[in-house]
Structure 1
């Protein structure tokens, strides 16, 4: 990163890393359940439906957090909204570790979900608004990487807690191990809370609130006085053109954008990604692995997810959005079909881990990051924030629906007798085929086009 006179790229990088802790907690909070759900089910003696509720309850909070984040960040500022998210994460981590009943556990998980929903919108928004345009893309990708890193970290944490507990007694993990898994999130949550007091507020929000002198100081420190002067003019111009309402998406020319955005948000989830991320140990146990081996295999899932997310960041602008989504969806569908046949014919062995990893790799380099790229590009500037908020809410609703219904489909006596756990994987494979059709038929290729060119394309 080339540094300009008066600018400080190290300062920008440190700000981005602090904000990206919100993304890391996003990944940490959503994936911590993977190692604990089996112990929770046994500890509270849960039915399949209640197991799904325990695993997916945080997603209810995600829906509300995403819906509130836009309003909170506009009224309180991006920084204070992230502080609010950090408080939610911390209280949730402590409370989820000490519930006296399933109801208490669910309430604290919902609170953590509010933090996830708020961070999922606010962290990338804050990074984008602080970073200079020439490195904005790279800085925002730090948040996407942090989300996946948070998942990898918690997979390791869950593995070592379970391994430690198994060495103490047969019942330690059932009574205490899962509690420490949730409590471990309090450490990064507290770190985010403290570090946020050391970073500035978003210059764009400061200008919007009439605090141009403070905004100018932040922009000057970021990239020098010339950049500050230019950026202030750009912010004033953009703010003058804001004010579009979500109702504008229902106008005839814009309606197709709403359909495409919501469709991509739904399809990203109903192709089964969070089933693998949340229930991976249980899936591996169904295929014959013991708990320790299942958690170790889940670590491999996280590492592959992180590796191919990095690959996607370097290929999305080279190969285009549509090719990555089509190829990735095809790979995901074939992997899910194979996993389903493996369950159906009661086959066990290392092959299952291989196809799970192929599925994760295909998602991480396609629907995972690329859907967010497309959503951030296709909506007109004047309504982008509101449209992104709507799409994110729909995405979390879809995520909740998938996470809630998987245990029911996977453990339903009739379905198990007929398909032996294969049924849900074939359902998700079918949605992969739907995704390929939708992308090929309706989603435009936006590679190499400016946001203004994309907007003119829809208007014409």
Structure 2
């Protein structure tokens, strides 16, 4: 957007659009977090062992990887808003069916359906936001997605806690004589329905509209966003960015016609998506309480540490919102990589000093428990100041118009596969080779990510989407 037209930007309308789009991030976090308070109910209702619980809990990741891949391509067919509306329907169906499931098989199907919505929302909300916001504030508005993801996780934890406390336990009967754990899933239907209804009142992405030949509709949307003169200029720019090789976007666009190889920008997107998971952040969110109890903290203290990590995460994301359009995306990624490498190494060192007492209890001697606690929370801050939100910001804006949907499909799929690999492997790795080696591995990936960013990532701060090169 040109500086001279800045006074014409309808920021109130843009803020409303972003607020609606990021409900998808909230649903992403809520659907991922709601499972945490329901595992006792699942065990008793379906007579599950540890393996069965793992399959029921992990089913969402299967759906998420498929949803992320399919949504990127579908967004080029039915539109960005269309995919978000489909995700809202999937969230609603999943909540109702999971809560009513009479067997493990039905529950797994319901969670896969919810995962499809999670995967779709995870990749489409950021790209939609990037396509309807001015370049000078695009980073901070796209970063709101991460705040909403963490808010959704926290919201699920709070809702589960309140329902269980009110009923007297997650397996105790609540309203209509159904156990509380079922209501934990049914409660999710409320934000899912709100998400769907809110999507009815926001416009489709103007870049998608131009790509589909609906220039008049795109002009109307852009006029409402930026004013008539800027709207006409933007339509012309979008059309020009597509005209050099204009055809319906397809997956094969990711392969360069000159070299016959996958475009470097695609590898950069995949690398950003995978490294975000290889630094081990989901170990903190999925296994935080178990992790701290394993090194000697009480259950009560472990749960308090989880709450502290959530609050710090939101605070760090708010810091990103203030900084991302000032100092840029790449510097924040580099700061995050360096900070995570150091703090993860300190956590690994602290865990290496763990001792087992005569009664079999594990503890960290001296001040090493405090050292591990401070380093782990600094790690959470570094992640959420950088890789947490910035990865989604970059994926939403770094690809040229012609390949944005396809690029998101591949990178989003890679992100969820890496998520599953880290989440599934941690319990076994924590036993053998142990927490020290495991956390040293996460620190190593954080270090490698620093050099990856230096070599492969190009700054996108302040650049129009039409200027992105592949």
The equivalent of 1:260 in structure 2 is 268
The equivalent of 1:9 in structure 2 is 11
**Residue 412 of structure 2 is aligned to residue 392 of structure 1:** yes
Residue 2 to residue 157, structure 1, CA distance change in 2 (3 Å): farther
Residue 210 to residue 334, structure 1, CA distance change in 2 (3 Å): closer
**Unmatched tracts of structure 1, length 5 or more:** none
Secondary structure in 1 matching 2:203: coil
The worse-fitting range, judged by mean Cα deviation, of 241-250 and 388-397 is 241-250
Residue 449 to residue 189, structure 1, CA distance change in 2 (3 Å): closer
Aligned-residue CA RMSD in angstroms?
3.6
Separation in 1, partners of 2:256, 2:214: 30
Residue 65 to residue 161, structure 1, CA distance change in 2 (3 Å): same
Whether the 8 Å contact between 1:48 and 1:408 is mirrored in structure 2 is no
The equivalent of 1:232 in structure 2 is 235
Q: Deviations over 1:348-369 (max 9, x none)?
A: 6665543332221111112222
Separation in 2, partners of 1:426, 1:45: 37
**Residue 311 of structure 2 is aligned to residue 303 of structure 1:** yes
Q: Quote how far apart the aligned CAs of 1:173 are.
A: 9.4
| 1:37-436 to 2 correspondences below 5 Å | 37=39, 40=42, 49-165=51-167, 168=168, 172=172, 176-241=179-244, 242-243=246-247, 245-248=253-256, 251=259, 255-288=263-296, 293-344=301-352, 345=354, 346-347=362-363, 352-375=372-395, 379-410=399-430, 412=431, 415=432, 419=434, 421-436=435-450
Separation in 2, partners of 1:321, 1:435: 14
Separation in 2, partners of 1:365, 1:173: 41
Secondary structure in 2 matching 1:32: helix
Q: Deviations over 1:358-405 (max 9, x none)?
A: 221111112222333444565455434322321111111111111122
For these two proteins, the number of residue pairs brought into alignment is 448
Whether the 8 Å contact between 2:160 and 2:184 is mirrored in structure 1 is yes
The worse-fitting range, judged by mean Cα deviation, of 247-256 and 49-58 is 247-256
Separation in 1, partners of 2:334, 2:309: 22
Q: Which has the larger share of helix?
A: 1
Residue 41 to residue 295, structure 1, CA distance change in 2 (3 Å): farther
The worse-fitting range, judged by mean Cα deviation, of 129-138 and 224-233 is 129-138
Separation in 2, partners of 1:439, 1:132: 25
Secondary structure in 2 matching 1:201: coil
Separation in 2, partners of 1:170, 1:455: 50
The equivalent of 1:31 in structure 2 is 33
Whether the 8 Å contact between 2:401 and 2:466 is mirrored in structure 1 is no
Separation in 2, partners of 1:147, 1:88: 17
Separation in 1, partners of 2:307, 2:83: 31
Secondary structure in 1 matching 2:200: helix
Q: Quote how far apart the aligned CAs of 1:305 are.
A: 0.9
Residue 3 to residue 259, structure 1, CA distance change in 2 (3 Å): closer
Separation in 2, partners of 1:159, 1:299: 12
Whether the 8 Å contact between 2:211 and 2:242 is mirrored in structure 1 is yes
Whether the 8 Å contact between 2:329 and 2:390 is mirrored in structure 1 is yes
